[in-house]
Amino acid sequence: MLKLNVKPALLLLEDSKISAVKGELKKCIKKFHGSPPGFVRILYDDRVVREIEEYSEKLKKYENFVVVGIGGSALGNQALQNALRPMDWNFLTSKDREGYCRVFVIDNVDPDLVRTTLKMVEPEKTIFNIISKSGGTAEALANYLIVRGVLEDAGLDPRDHLVFTTDPKKGFLRELANREGIDAFEIPPDVGGRFSVLTSVGLLSAKAAGIDIRALLEGARSMVDNSKLEEVNENLPALLALVHYLHLEQGRNIAVMMAYSNRLLTLVDWFRQLWAESLGKRKDGQCGVGQTPVKALGSVDQHSQLQLYNDGPDDKIITMLRIREFHDDVEIPLIHDDESVRYLGGKKLSGLLNTEFVGTALSLVESNRPVVILDFEKLDEEHVGRFFLLYEIATVFMGELLGVNPFDQPGVERSKVITKALMGMKGLEKEKAKILARLKELEMEA
C-alpha cells in the first residue's frame, strides 16, 4: 500500500478544529459511497478492459501509439507512461520493448511540438488516438486534421491508423467514427476528463505500452475500499482532505507537491490539473476558494525553491513523494581520497536522493511548515492506481468541505468561446465583433 504520513501537518493544527472537520468528513464518506461518482463506478466495469485487450491484438502490427489530446485527455497518459515505463522506453528496440509500442503524446497545438513528434514516427507504423470527450475540443480536432492530412498524403487508409476516444453517442468524433467505420472507445458521460485516467482515456495507451491495466485497476479499487472506512485516521483520502482544508483555513492557499523522482513528476502534473480545476471556484458569486497547486522536483528544487518554502511566506502545505525501492540503482564509485567526496563513495544514488528527502522534510518541519509524506514502497501499477484514486477521492471530499462542485469548470468555458469566435466559428460572428472591440480598448492584439 501507499503509506501516508500527515502527522507533521497535523501538529500545527488545533485538536478542536481537527475533531470538527472529522465529523464533517464522516458525512462526506457516507454521501460519497451512497452514490459513487462515475470514476469509481467505471473501475468495476470489466467490459472496458476486455475491449481494450481485444483491440491490443491489432496494436501488435504497429510500432508507435500517438495520443492526441489536451488536459485530462493527455495528462493521465503522460503520468502512466513516465511512471511505469523506463525513461528511455521510446529509444529501445522493438525486441527490448517485447513488441509493445513506443508512446508519444501530442498535448498542445504548439507547431514545434506537433511537427517534431510527427517527424519521429513513420505514419504507416503508427496508430493515432484522438481523445476528446465532447468530440469538439478545438486543440484535439486541429491536430486530428493535421494527422489525417499526413495519413492521406502518405496514401494510407485512415481507418487503419486512427482510433477515437470520445462520447459514446454524440459529438463530431463519434459521428465521424460511425460514418467512416473508424474504431472508437467510449468516455463515460459521468466521468469528467480530469477523472478519466482509468477509463479508456488512459488505459488504451497503457496497454499499448505493455502496462498491466488490470493491476492498475486492482490498486485503484483497493483505495476505494480504504475510502469506505468511517474512522478518518485510517481513511487516506479523508486524511488528505482534512489537512489540506484546515491549512487552507489558516491561509495556506498553495499546495506544493514535491516528487523525489523524475518518474513521479508527471503524476504531479496530473495532480495540478485535478486540484486546480476541481476546487478553484467562485462561491456565492465571488472569487474565493481553492488552493494553487505547485510542482517541485527533489533534489533539483532544493537548489531553487526550498529557500522560499522554509523562510518565505507561510502560505504553503507541502506534500513530498518518495519511492522506497527503485527499479534501477547506481552505485557511486570511490575514486578520490579527499574527505569532501570520500563520504559519497560506495553509496547508492537512491540512498543519496532519499537522504536528501529526509533533510528537506525535517528542515521544513523545523521551520513550522506543514508537511505531508507519501511513500511508494515501489513504483508499479498497483501503487500508481492507488495514487490516482487517493487524490480523486480526496478532491471530492475537499470539494464537499469547501462547498463547491468539484466536477464542473465554468472558469474554463469563456476562454473556449473566445477562441472559437476569433478562429471564425460559424454562429459566433456577433460575439467576435464584441471581443475585437474589447481587445482594441485594452490595446491587446488578436
Catalytic annotation on 133? no
Tell me, yes or no, if 416 is annotated catalytic.
yes
193 and 229 inside one domain: no
Query: How far apart (Å, rounded) are the C-alpha atoms in residues 59 and 207?
Result: 9
**Cβ(230)–Cβ(75) below 8 Å:** no
H or E segment at 383? helix 381-402
Share of the chain above pLDDT 70, in %: 100
Percent of the chain beyond pLDDT 90?
85
Assess whether 367 and 436 both reside in one domain. no
The values of phi and psi at residue 297, to 5°, are -125, 125
Residues 67-73, mean pLDDT to the nearest whole number? 95
Predicted pLDDT at 216:
98
Q: How many CA atoms lie within 13 A of 107 on its CB side?
A: 15
Asked whether residue 407 is domain-assigned, the answer is no
pLDDT of residue 52: 98
CA atoms of 438 and 419, how far apart (whole Å) = 14
pLDDT tens string 82-94: 999 999 999 999 9
446 lies in some domain: no
Handedness of CA 173, 178, 183, 184 (dihedral sign): positive
Residue type, 267: L
Give me the pLDDT at residue 409, please. 84
One domain, residues 110 and 9: no
Predicted pLDDT at 362: 97
Give percent helix, percent strand, percent coil of the chain, each to the nearest 5.
55, 15, 30
pLDDT at 327: 85
Mean pLDDT for the chain?
95
- Check pLDDT > 80 for residue 285: no
Q: Residue 434: its pLDDT value, please?
A: 86
Average pLDDT of the segment spanning 19-39:
97
Strands 292-297 and 254-259: parallel
Q: Can you give the pLDDT at residue 437?
A: 84
422 has pLDDT over 90 = no
Average pLDDT score over residue span 15-25: 97
Q: Are residues 357 and 430 in the same domain?
A: no
Domain membership flag for residue 318? yes
Q: Within this chain, do residues 225 and 168 fall inside the same structural domain, yes or no?
A: no
Do both 70 and 135 map to the same domain? yes
pLDDT (mean) for 229-237 = 97
Torsion sign across C-alpha atoms 95, 328, 295, 293: positive
**How many domains does the structure of the chain reveal?**
3
Q: Going by C-beta distance under 8 Å and a sequence separation of 6 or more, which residues neighbour residue 418?
A: 435
pLDDT of residue 414: 84
Residue 224: pLDDT band (50, 70, 90) is: very high
Q: Is residue 411 part of a domain?
A: no
Contact 188, 178 (CB under 8 A): no
**SS3 call for 265:** helix
The yes-or-no verdict on residue 287 having pLDDT over 80 is no
14 belongs to a structural domain: yes
The answer to whether 124 is a known catalytic residue is no
For the record, the C-alpha cell of 390 comes out as: 487517493
Pull the grid cell for residue 17.
478544529
Amino acid at 293: P
The residue-averaged pLDDT of 393-405 equals 97
Q: Give the dihedral of Cα atoms 74, 38, 184, 421; nearest 10 deg.
A: -60
CA dist., res. 165 & res. 72, Å (int): 12
The answer to the question of residue 410 being in a domain is no
Q: What is the domain-level CATH number for residue 382?
A: 3.40.50.10490
Decide which of 196, 211, 226 is a domain's last residue: 211
Look at residue 408 and tell me if it is in a domain.
no
237: number of Cβ within 10 Å: 28
CB 218 within 8 A of CB 385: yes
Catalytic residue among 416, 420, 431, 432: 416
Note the pLDDT of residue 283.
83
Same domain as 267, residue 386: yes
Lowest mean pLDDT of 93-107, 240-254, 275-289, name the range: 275-289
Please provide the size of the chain in residues: 446
Residue where one domain finishes, among candidates 186, 211, 236: 211
Residue 344 has pLDDT above 90, yes or no: no
pLDDT tier for residue 435 given thresholds of 50, 70 and 90: confident
User: First vs last Cα of the chain: how many Å apart?
Assistant: 51
Considering the candidates 61, 95, 119, 303, report the single residue annotated as catalytic.
303
The answer on 62 and 205 residing in a single domain is yes
Residue with cell 528496440: 93
The mean per-residue pLDDT over the stretch 262-284 comes to 95
Question: Are residues 396 and 420 located together in one domain of the fold?
Answer: no
Angle made by CA atoms 47, 49, 53, in degrees to the nearest 5: 115
- Whether residues 30 and 48 share a domain: the answer is no
- Among 19-23, 201-205, 328-332, which stretch is predicted with the lowest mean pLDDT? 328-332
Does residue 284 surpass a pLDDT of 90? no
> 418 is written with which cell numbers?
473566445
Comparing 441 with 312, the larger pLDDT belongs to: 312
| Domain membership flag for residue 250 | yes
Neighbours of 121 (CB within 10 A): 20
C-alpha cell at 293: 497547486
pLDDT digits (tens, 9 = 90+) for 181-206: 999 999 999 999 999 999 999 999 99
Position 343 confidence tier, pLDDT thresholds 50, 70, 90: confident
Domain, as residue range, for 306? 3-34+217-402
Answer with the one of 178, 195, 211 that is the final residue of a domain. Answer: 211
58 and 200 in a common domain: yes
Cα separation, 97 vs 75, whole angstroms: 23
**Range name among 160-169, 242-251, 336-345 with the lowest pLDDT average:** 336-345
* pLDDT tops 80 at residue 116: yes
**In this predicted structure, what is the pLDDT of residue 332?**
87
| Phi, psi angle pair for 318, to nearest 5° | -115, 120
- Which among 432, 406, 405 is positioned nearest to 417, based on CA atoms? 432
pLDDT tens digit string along 352-368? 999 999 999 999 999 99
Catalytic residue among 133, 139, 186, 277: 277
pLDDT at 46: 95
- Rounded distance between C-alpha atoms, residue 281 and residue 290, angstroms: 7
Whole-number Å distance between alpha carbons of 260 and 431: 47
Do 182 and 153 share a structural domain?
yes
